[in-house]
Amino acid sequence: MANSYFSVKVQNEKQKTFYSFLCSVFLTITMRILFVCLGNICRSPAAEAIFTHLIEQNKLWKTISCDSAGTAGYHEGQGAYPKMINVAGKRGYKVTSISRQVRPDEDFEEFDLIVAMDNQNIADLNRMAPLGNAKAKICKMTDFALRKNYTYVPDPYYGDTRDYELVIDILEDACEGLLQSITN
């Protein structure tokens, strides 16, 4: 499926439905994206920071916005994990989000795209999704990767600095691909 808004190789009917939905979203004035991981203190806040950086760099703040949330509320009200803030900061990203849990009734209405970090996040989001076309908004971060060949963004929480750097590497690549998908 290809058009002036979005060009991808569609491999199955589910993807065709999903990308058709994405194409319809591009006709709106503002694209709102929600990045989701488990606790909203490592991966999704980093994705939000990286994508915000790309939005600002490309002067797209009037047309694209993003936020992040977790499928669980373990850390609600807390800032991102210090290791992630540190590693992302060394690459020039400001991770400033405050953790919150996904609010299904609000988030599936407010956001045009809900980008999960792994398959468990997708399963959790599918369970949370209200009836209607809400599930069509859910996708996986690594589906947008341009160069990295990962099927999910690993949770670095118990890992060392290299694990956090890998997450940033994957997110930089996938965020770039996501932005290209939206703007091309």
Active-site residues: which are they?
A: 37, 43, 155
Structure token pair of residue 151:
């099927």
Tell me the sheet residues that pair with 115: 35, 139
40 torsion bin: left (phi>0), alpha (psi -120 to 50), beta (else):
left
Structure token pair of residue 105:
């009734």
Close Cβ partners of 160 (under 8 Å, ≥ 6 residues apart): none
Q: How far apart are CA 151 and CA 144, in angstroms?
A: 10
